[in-house]
């Protein structure tokens, strides 16, 4: 009996060590790559949102990839030069700390190159408030215009950085209210099938396009029908180089 108990204790101890090691590597790869992705390092198993996990994240992860061109739906919230043939399509999880750090680089590129920015939603299942934040963004865009929606997004990302990712629902609501979104409007938008369906369609589209984490971006040229995909916290110089290539 004592031998069996000792074996059980040893087995539990080994399992605990394995869990700690796996947790470390998930955090390590996410931090190193600047990419919020629901994969388990080295597992090769599907995880959150039915996304396939890469078996060797550090080796398989590529910041720049060739991509097939796709047409925009026409209902996306956008800013910048709306007539530009170069379009930055940003798939965001609005609770993602890496998205918060990457977005200022995107804003700078939009202004510098006089191009169009389109925002799509990719709320990851392990971010509790991401979908609610997306609803606030779309609700502000619908009721107050794209400028207010992007003011919300920028401020929300600033709060995310200040709080080191430890944000909650009230953080989003507080910023949205400053821009004119009432509790009644938010609750109405939460039950608005046009908004909730749009967010889900964005997510489903992202899956089909091969996105498995955030931030993720496509640069499209609507004239030449060329496209490139950027993954993770891409440096400003890399983003600028890819914009230049696709012009």
pLDDT tens digit string along 166-188?
Answer: 999 999 999 999 999 999 999 99
Which of 60, 87, 107 is the last residue in one of the domains? 60
Same domain, 8 and 26: yes
Is the dihedral angle over the CA atoms 202, 65, 93, 152 positive or is it negative? negative
- pLDDT value at residue 19: 43
Tens digits of residue pLDDT in 57-67:
444 568 999 99
Residues 50 and 159 grouped into a single domain: no
pLDDT of 181: 95
Residue 45: the pLDDT is: 36
What CA–CA distance (Å, rounded) separates 96 from 166?
10
Number of domains the chain contains = 2
179 and 74 in one domain?
Answer: yes
CA dihedral 167, 169, 175, 177 (to 10 degrees): -170
Question: 226 is written with which tokens?
Answer: 């060329």
Summarize pLDDT for 121-162 with one digit per residue, the tens: 999 999 999 999 999 999 999 999 999 999 999 999 999 999
pLDDT for position 24: 38
Average pLDDT over residues 216-222: 98
- Banded model confidence at residue 12, pLDDT cuts 50, 70, 90: low
Q: Name the pLDDT band for 2 (thresholds 50, 70, 90).
A: low
Say whether pLDDT at 9 is over 70: no
- 19 & 130 share domain: no
Which residue among 60, 78, 101 closes a domain?
Answer: 60
Lookup: tokens for 234: 């891409």
Please tell me whether residues 9 and 68 are part of one structural domain. no
pLDDT of residue 52: 37
Residue 218 has phi, psi (to 5 degrees) of -115, 140
Average confidence (pLDDT) over 71-78: 96
pLDDT, greater one: 233 or 155:
155
Check: CB of residue 30 under 8 Å from CB of residue 37: yes
Same domain, 7 and 72: no
Q: For residues 59 and 103, which has the higher predicted lDDT (pLDDT)?
A: 103
Percent of all residues in the chain with a pLDDT value above 90, rounded to a whole number: 73
Could you tell me if 69 and 37 lie in one domain?
no
pLDDT of residue 93 exceeding 60, the answer is: yes
Burial annotation 190-208 (CB, 10 A radius, 16+ → b, else e): eebeebbebbeebbebbee
Query: Based on the domain organization, do 240 and 208 belong to the same domain?
Result: yes
Domain that holds residue 39: 2-60
Between 240 and 47, the more confident residue is: 240
Residues 89 and 152 in one domain: yes
Cα(216)–Cα(6) distance, integer angstroms = 48
CATH number at residue 197: 3.40.30.10
Q: Where are the alpha helices (DSSP H) in 34-87?
A: 57-60
Q: Are residues 42 and 74 in the same domain?
A: no
Of all residues in the chain, what percent carry a pLDDT higher than 70? Answer: 75
pLDDT of 60 reads 59
Q: Are residues 56 and 69 in the same domain?
A: no
pLDDT the model gives residue 62:
85
Residues 191, 109, single domain; the answer is yes
Asked which of 38, 60, 82 is the last residue of a domain, the reply is: 60
Q: Which residues contact 61 (CB under 8 A, 6 or more apart)?
A: 29, 33, 35, 54, 231, 232
């Amino acid at each position: 009996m004592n031998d069996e108990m000792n074996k059980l204790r040893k087995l539990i101890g080994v399992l605990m060590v394995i869990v700690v090691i796996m947790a470390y590597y998930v955090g390590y790869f996410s931090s190193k790559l600047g990419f919020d992705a629901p994969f388990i390092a080295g597992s090769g198993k599907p995880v959150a949102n039915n996304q396939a996990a890469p078996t060797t994240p550090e080796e398989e992860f590529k910041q720049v990839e060739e991509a097939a061109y796709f047409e925009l739906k026409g209902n996306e919230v956008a800013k910048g030069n709306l007539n530009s043939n170069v379009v930055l399509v940003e798939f965001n999880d609005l609770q993602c700390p890496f998205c918060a750090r990457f977005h200022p680089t995107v804003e700078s590129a939009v202004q510098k190159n006089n191009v169009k920015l389109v925002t799509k939603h990719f709320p990851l299942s392990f971010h509790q408030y991401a979908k609610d934040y997306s609803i606030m963004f779309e609700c502000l865009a619908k009721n107050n215009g794209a400028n207010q929606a992007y003011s919300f997004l920028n401020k929300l990302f600033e709060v995310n950085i200040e709080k080191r990712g430890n944000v909650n629902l009230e953080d989003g609501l507080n910023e949205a209210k400053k821009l004119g979104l009432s509790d009644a409007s938010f609750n109405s938008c939460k039950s608005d099938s046009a908004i909730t369906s749009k967010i889900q369609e964005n997510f489903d589209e992202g899956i089909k396009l091969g996105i498995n984490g955030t931030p993720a971006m496509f640069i499209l040229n609507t004239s030449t029908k060329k496209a490139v995909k950027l993954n993770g916290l891409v440096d400003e110089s890399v983003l600028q180089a890819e914009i230049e290539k696709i012009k």
